[in-house]
Every structure is written in structure tokens, then in C-alpha cells.
Amino acid sequence: MNTIGHFINGEISTAAARTQDVFNPATGQAEKQVAIAPVETVEQAIACAQAAFPAWRNTPPIKRARVMFRFKELLEQNADKICQLIGEEHGKISHDAAGELQRGIENVEYACGVPELLKGEHSKNVGPNIDSWSEFQPLGVVAGITPFNFPAMVPLWMFPMAIACGNCFVLKPSERDPSSTLFLAQLLKEAGLPDGVLNVVNGDKSAVDVLLTHQDVKAVSFVGSTPIAEYVYQTANAHGKRCQALGGAKNHAIVMPDADMDNAVSQLLGAAFGSSGERCMALSVAVAVGDAAGDALVVKMKEAMKDLKVGAYTDSNNDFGPVITGQHRDKVVGYINHAQEQGASIVVDGRNPEIEGYSDGFFVGGTLIDNVTPDMVSYKEEIFGPVLQVVRVQTMQEAMDLIDAHEYGNGTCIFTRDGEAARYFSDHIQVGMVGINVPLPVPVAYHSFGGWKRSLFGDLHAYGPDSVRFYTKRKTITQRWPSAGIREGAQFSMPTMK
């Protein structure tokens, strides 16, 4: 069985405290193993990054950008292989994997503009013969901890910009689907990145804790569940590190009485069930305003869901694939059971789907649940599966109050034809990313991604302009060259321009 290793100082290493199986979620079979790094291997990766930092930080930004341009080309040339690796280990359908990769490539494109992004500010004659300017300098060694659900895209949110800004990077991907991430690192070396600038270690909590506590790691980026995000943020901060930790979500879509219901249903299908619901921007709750809207939504969703195709990644006609593990499948089914036990109506039941040829796969079919209430476990917690719940309210304000009261504030949207309602919603809703008739309002690469409340710990969002600020520190320089023969006496009061 093939063992997936680490990428340290430009070389593959299989150093391991132990190994862990990597499953194909469609077949339910362990097809690879991954080396779980001991503490010493993580420390080695950090040391290699630290050793590479002086030369890399002094590499002109335009040369760092050229590496990113070549990296972008290699990503496009190897797209089919990357998507295959994602499909084999995550289960994501080929067209969905291609979309994930393209979103990641767009972040590499943004990083290619780093010479412009790193330009500081300059002011001449802020005082007599005194000039002042600011510049953005790299932090040093920075780390990223990424989730299983986007093994290519989320790492590409992090290390391209961090490296383009002059930092060196240690990445710990999910041990559930590490191959595509490791391949990205190999492509970046092929693009001309010096050894040691990017290192990848596969590991568990012990590896994470090294990254959170090691004195040479200056900043940590994290994407995952809220309990772990909070732990990462608190631990990193306690050890003096800058940290951005993106957590969980419970994204609501308000369906107004005046909405184009056919369009709303079409959009909700993809937003709720795409990627098997395993994405932090999945729309998992539809809030219908008025019983008529609720009835129409449920009837049309039930009919539309008859055409959903669930299966293996190899068939591009499928809409979505399995969830990541058997344990997670059971967890998703458990939430459906809870909803039923607490009085909700299972309109379309995705428990125990029959997938021809894949009876051992980790599949959950598309599930629609009506009459869900805010006190239900399935409403309160993030399901992270192909489950759409319908909550019924009587007014738009009631719907907004429901969203604002939830502990998560990642993404939301409203389906309406009313511009006044849309404007009020976007102005007042307490959520970080908002869509107007757009169910997955994921910002493009030149904006930044992040939620509010317990969906994000830290002040700076992921990728886009915030990533430049996160991976650099501002330095302001004030200088004066006195004219020949002119010497000023000592000044004991605060200097001013009065």
C-alpha cells in the first residue's frame, strides 16, 4: 500500500510516528496510508523554513511573483491529476474538484500581483527635510492548518500569498486526503521555489501543537470546525502569534414571498447538496417567509430532488459524492434521526441510499426536512452533509432575528425581487458574507473571505487584501538628512509642524 509522506526542504520524507489509513470514500476501502509526523519531523520542517527565510525575504518581489506565474501554469497543466487525487481521497465529483482547483488558481493569480500589493506609502517633507514612508515586511516562518473538504483550494488561500510576501511556510493538511496538497508543493518546487520555503507535514494534534507553540512560527492560519478554531486561536495567541482561525457555519437562505421560486429552488439544490454539503458556505437552512412560500418551496424542492444523482467521482454526471468517512456518514444520519425524533418532517430521506456498485461507500443522499424549529439539535449544530432544513416564519424581520441569534455568522442570502428588502437585509444582517439572489456568496480572490461571530477568530479575513496584511508587518521609516553646516539644538518638547 502506497505511503504518503511529507515534503521537507524540497524532498519527500516518510518519517512517521505511525501511519494512518487513507480511504476512498466511494468504495469505503483504505487504498493508501499517510505518514503521521512525529514532533521531531515538524520541528525539522520549521528549522528548514527558518534557514531558508533570510535569502527568500531578500528575493525581489518581482522574482517571487515569477515563481507564482510558473506555478499557475503548472497547476493548469496538471489539473486533471490534481482533480483525480481529490476525487480518490475526498470523493468529490470531477466537475466539483475542477471548480475547487480553479478557485485556488485565482488566488495564485492574485499573488502574482504582489509587487504592486507590497508597495507602501511615501510622504515627502513631513517636516523640515524629513521624509516618511511605510513598507510591508514578511513575518518569517508562518504556518497553515487546512481541512479535508477543500484539500487544494484552502491551502492555495494561504501559502501562495504568504510566500509571495517573502515568508516561508509550513503546511499541515488534513491527514484524510493529503495527496493533492503534497502534489501542489512538488509543483511549486518545479516552478522554481527554493528548497525550504514551503514544507508540508502530515500529522495529528501533536503536530498542530508544535506549530502553535514553536517560537520560530510567527503566524498561524486555520480553517476547520469552530471548537478547534477556538483552540487554535487561543493557543496561538497565548504563545504570541498572529492568528486567523476560520470555524464552522450554519448558513441560512431567506425565501421571500415574492421570490422567483423556481430560481430559488434551482439555486438551493446546488448550494445545499453540492460537495455533499461538506463546505462552510453550504446553505443548510431555508427560512420561508409565510406559509404559502414555505409550501411552494417544499413542493418544488421535493420534485427537483428526484433528479439528484449521487455516486462516485469518476462519473461526471453525478451531482455529488460520498461524505468523507463512515464515521461522518453516521453523524449526518444521526442529525436526521434527531430532527425526526424532535418533530420535524422528513420530506426526502437520504438515509441508506442504494448506490449501484458502491455498497460500502460513505454515501448520504440528498435530504429535505420541513417544520424545523430553532430548539432542535439539527438546527443548532453544523451538520456538514447533504441536508437542507426548512424553517417557517411569518415576517422578514423574524427571519433576520433567527439568523442573528445563531452562534455562527459565516454566510447567508436572500431570494427576493424587492430591492428595498434586499438593501435592508444586506445592511443589517449580522453575517460576514451576504448574497442577494446568490446562494454561495464566496468572495472572489481579490476580496477577502470570512464570517462573523463564532465563524471567525481573529481580525483579518482569509485571502485577498487581508492576506497581505496578515502575512506582513508594517514598518514606518522617518528620515532626515540635514543640510551642510546646519545643526539644530536639542528639542525636549514633542516635535510638531505647528
Which residues fall within 8 angstroms of residue 405, CB to CB, at 6 or more apart? 374
Same domain, 304 and 413: yes
Same domain, 188 and 258: no
- Residue 212 maps to a domain: yes
Same domain, 26 and 165: yes
- Residue 441 maps to a domain: no
Q: Cα torsion at 393, 395, 401, 407 (round to 10°)?
A: 30
CATH no. for residue 51? 3.40.605.10
Cell numbers 427571519 correspond to what residue?
399
> Which amino acid makes up residue 261?
M
114-118, long-range: CB < 8 A, 24+ apart: 114/61, 114/64, 114/65, 114/68, 114/161, 114/164, 114/165, 114/468, 115/61, 115/62, 115/65, 117/465, 117/468, 118/61, 118/165, 118/468, 118/472
Write out the DSSP string of 346-406: EEE--SS---TT-TTS-----EEEES--TTSHHHHS---SSEEEEEEESSHHHHHHHHHHS
> Is 416 in a helix, a strand, or coil?
coil
Same domain, 231 and 320: no
What are φ and ψ of residue 349, in 5° steps? Answer: -105, 115
pTM: 0.95
Q: How many domains in the chain?
A: 2
Same domain, 312 and 412: yes
Q: What domain range includes position 232?
A: 2-247+455-477
Same domain, 228 and 257: no
- Residue 334 maps to a domain: yes
- Residue 118 maps to a domain: yes
Same domain, 64 and 32: yes
Same domain, 36 and 52: yes
Q: Are 451 and 458 in contact (CB under 8 A)?
A: no
Which alpha helices (H) appear in 214-279, and where do they start and end?
226-238, 261-273
Q: Cα torsion at 119, 124, 128, 130 (round to 10°)?
A: 20
Number of Cβ within a 10 Å radius of residue 183 = 20
Cell readout for 491 is 528639542
Q: In which region does residue 464 sit, left (phi positive, over 0), alpha (psi from -120 to 50) or beta (all else)?
A: left
For the chain of 498 residues, list the mean pLDDT of each consecutive stretch of 10.
94 92 97 96 98 98 98 98 97 96 98 96 89 96 98 98 98 97 98 98 96 98 96 98 96 97 96 96 97 97 96 95 97 98 97 93 97 97 97 98 96 97 97 96 94 95 96 95 73 77
- Residue 442 maps to a domain: no
Same domain, 134 and 201: yes
- Residue 326 maps to a domain: yes
Q: Which one, of 203, 161, 222, lies nearest residue 471 by Cα?
A: 161
Strands 345-348 and 367-370: antiparallel
- Residue 195 maps to a domain: yes
Distance CA 221, CA 470 (A): 9
Same domain, 460 and 362: no
Q: Alpha carbon of 114 to those of 62, 84, 110: distances in Å?
A: 8, 31, 8
Cell numbers 404559502 correspond to what residue?
292
Same domain, 73 and 107: yes
Q: Alpha carbon of 106 to those of 66, 203, 286, 435, 443: distances in Å?
A: 15, 28, 30, 20, 11
Give yes or no: 83 in active site. no
Please give the helix or strand (H or E) that residue 444 lies within, else none. Answer: none
DSSP code for 462: B
Catalytic pick among 83, 112, 165, 280? 280
Q: Are 89 and 176 in contact (CB under 8 A)?
A: yes
Same domain, 401 and 463: no
Please give the helix or strand (H or E) that residue 218 lies within, else none. Answer: strand 217-223
Burial code (b: 16+ CB inside 10 Å, e: under 16) for 270-297 equals bbbbbbbbbbbbbbbbbbbbbeebbebb
The upper half-sphere exposure of residue 50, i.e. CA atoms within 13 Å in the direction of its Cβ, equals 12
Compute the radius of gyration of the chain from its Cα atoms.
25
CATH no. for residue 333? 3.40.309.10
